[in-house]
Structure 1
Amino acid sequence: MKVIDGHCDVLLKMYLDPAIDFYDVHTSPMDVTYSRMLHSNVKLQCFAIYLPERITQPHFDHYLEYINIFYQKIVRSGLIQAVKTRGDLELVMNGRVPGALLTLEGADALYGNPLYTRTLYHLGVRMIGVTWNYANWAADGVLEPRQGGFTRKGKSFIKDCNDLGILLDVSHLSEAAFWDLAAASAKPFVATHSNVKRLCGHPRNLDDEQIRALIRVDGRIGVTFVPWFVESSGKASVDDVVRHMEYICALGGERQLVLGSDFDGIDRHIPGLEHTGQYDRLAEALYKKFTKEQIEGFFYKNWHTFLSQHLPIH
């Protein structure tokens, strides 16, 4: 079965340790590697640019460093292709070479400058999570104490992304900012790596109304494998992940449900979902509850349909 994964933090690990080789199966400390992508038939992996908290003064050059890593150490002719357009997407979904899509998690270093946003677009960034957990110039994150929404510049940023064809990701936004984006965006939006708050009360998870809002706009909801987003105790199982998927489907989200592992962004894992080579374990658990057609939707078809409609044509 094919797989599309909407979020991983491989680039962070490679930024922190330049010696890491994405293609070296024997020494790589990462959850997502080239060989594991092939093993699980991962046709498209989204790679996030995320600046660690130790960078207290984010600069646009930091983004450029990550983008350089992406093109020098991930994308490789005949092995992994960068996906920027609908045509690129079809090539990787129907061909032998898997694809890599560049995303941004936290727009802090854009500072409301439309030129920076446009430059990221030209360099291949196709999806942006406006905040990480805290506030920046655009909006409040989910852990920001004041729990505000979008600023004036932030609302202009939403329009800039809509106009350019950059998808917007609400996974780390405060609740007020989520609803500001829902009201302001002319395009469907996504939550690349968030689960169900009713089942696990972590603030990064989505409540029922947020899930319904994503379903209404035909956005996407990426179930994530972060143990403490799956089970409040942090002791989660593969079956617990399935419970979140069942819940989203019960709200009407069968066609909006996708995967957003957050591999390489976590230091503890769900047994049986420790890395990207283990999607077969999740599929095995899902077959107890869902049909093959439904599981194909969750694993790749729902992402594929969405991206084929909203990535740039050229």
Structure 2
Amino acid sequence: MESIDLHCDALFKLMTGKVPNLHGDGTGGLDVTYERLGECGSRLQVFAVFIPPRLDDRGLYPLLESIDLFYEKVLSCPGIVFVRSREELQKCRAEGAIGAMLSLEGVSALQANPVVLLRLLHTLGVRAVGLTWNGANWAADGIMEARGGGLTASGSQFVRQCRSLGILLDASHLSERAFWDVAALLDTPFMASHSNARTICSHPRNLSDEQIKALILKRGLIGVTFVPWFLEASGNATVGHVLRHIDYICSLGGEHAIALGSDFDGIDEHVPGLSHPGQLYNLRNELLKRFTEEQTRGFMSQNAWSFFERNLPS
């Protein structure tokens, strides 16, 4: 069965220099490796460009270094296709290849000239953007910013520019007010790449019922994530807890909005039996006990495939 994952932080680990490349069985420290992507039948892995706040004073350099690593370490793997358009996405399925997409997680480094720098990032292949990480920046407040502000005027302009370029918006880390500002600005679908249902687990990074319903109405996408403390308050999560979130989103009408957003390589603790892409069969097998094969295929890959096929530029 094919799989698509909306979020991993392998590039951040590669930036540390402790991991030499994307190959291996994981003993080198990576959750997401080329071999494991092959094991799970990956048709698309979204690689996040995440620069921690402590590096903000280094400007654009860490961001560009991360993108350079994507070109050098990811796209050099045989059978990996750089996905920037729907035609390149379709090539993955036609050739049985693994797609790789670039997403930017936080726009702090673009403050000097956001619109111009966004155009440059688009040229380099970035096709999804999350405005913030957990804190605040020039564009918006993140979900952990106490004041809970929304988009700034510059942030609103930036969102419009993303829409005009065909860059998808990712709302996973936004404050609730910023989420609703984005929803009001966009007449196009957007996504939450790695967030769960707050009714099931009350972590701030999870989505309220109203946010889930808004994404469903927008024909958006919700990447159910494997972060243990987003699945279950104690952090003692199992594969069964992943199913609880999927089942709940389905109860709100979101069957066709559900995808996977693992956050592999962004977490130090894992759900037992779900610690890297090569173990996604454990999730698939449990899904098949509760859902039909068609529904399971939708959650594992087809819902995300349809979303990107509709919304990536030609």
Q: TM-score range by the shorter chain?
A: over 0.9
The alpha carbon displacement at 1:43 in A equals: 1.1
Deviations 1:68-113 (A, max 9, x none): 0000111026331111111100011221321100000001111152
The corresponding residue for 2:97 is: 97
2:210 matched to which residue of 1? 209
Partner of 2:8: 8
Identify the residue that residue 249 of structure 2 maps to in structure 1. Answer: 248
Cα gap change, 1:26 to 1:60, in 2 (>3 Å): closer
For residues 141-156 of structure 1, the aligned pairs below 5 Å read 141-156=142-157
User: Which amino acid in structure 1 is aligned with residue 100 of structure 2?
Assistant: A
Give 3-state SS (helix, strand or coil) of 1:159's partner: helix
Q: Is the 8 A contact 2:223 2:259 kept in 1?
A: yes
Conserved? CA contact 2:9–2:47, under 8 Å: yes
AA of the residue aligned to 2:64: L
| Contact 2:194 2:223 survives alignment (8 Å) | yes
Alignment of 1:134-173 (within 5 A): 134-173=135-174
In structure 2, list runs of 5 or more residues that go unmatched. Answer: none
Alignment root-mean-square deviation, CA: 1.1
Contact 1:197 1:205 in 2 (8 A): yes
What is the TM-score when the length of structure 1 is the normalising length? Answer: 0.97
Asked if structure 1 preserves the Cα contact closer than 8 Å seen for 2:19 and 2:30, the reply is no
The answer to whether the 8 Å contact 2:216/2:253 transfers is yes
User: Following the alignment from structure 1 to structure 2, what is the Cα–Cα distance between the partners of residues 27 and 207?
Assistant: 37
Structure 1: where are the runs of 5+ without partners? none
Question: What secondary structure is seen at the aligned counterpart in 1 of 2:255?
Answer: coil
Cα offset, 1:62, TM superposition: 1.9
Identity %: 49
1:251-290, aligned counterparts within 5 Å? 251-290=252-291
Cα deviation 1:149-181 (Å, max 9, x = unaligned): 000000001100000000000000000000010
Range 258-267 or range 178-187, more displaced: 178-187
Quick one: which amino acid aligns to residue 82 of structure 1?
F
**Partner residue of 2:109?**
109
Match of 1:220 in 2: 221
Residue aligned with 2:20, SS: coil
- The residue type paired with residue 129 of structure 1 is G
Within-5 A mapping of 1:62-141: 62-76=62-76, 78-111=78-111, 113-141=114-142
Residue 28 of structure 1, CA deviation: 2.5
- Secondary structure at the aligned position of 1:287 is classed as helix
Q: What is the CA–CA distance in structure 2 between the aligned matches of 1:300 and 1:6, rounded to whole Å?
A: 10
**Residues 180-189 or 41-50, more deviating:** 180-189
Tell me the distance in 2 between the aligned counterparts of 1:117 and 1:246: 37
Structure 1 residue 18, shift from structure 2 partner: 5.3
Deviations 1:11-30 (A, max 9, x none): 00000125422113364211
Contact 1:104–1:129 (Cα < 8 Å) also in 2: yes
Q: Is the 8 A contact 1:142 1:203 kept in 2?
A: yes
1:52 CA drift (Å): 1.9
Q: Which moved more, 1:88-97 or 1:75-84?
A: 75-84
Matched residue SS, 1:6: strand
In structure 1, distance between residues paired with 2:53 and 2:288:
40
1:39 maps to 39
Structure 2 residue identity aligned to 1:205? N
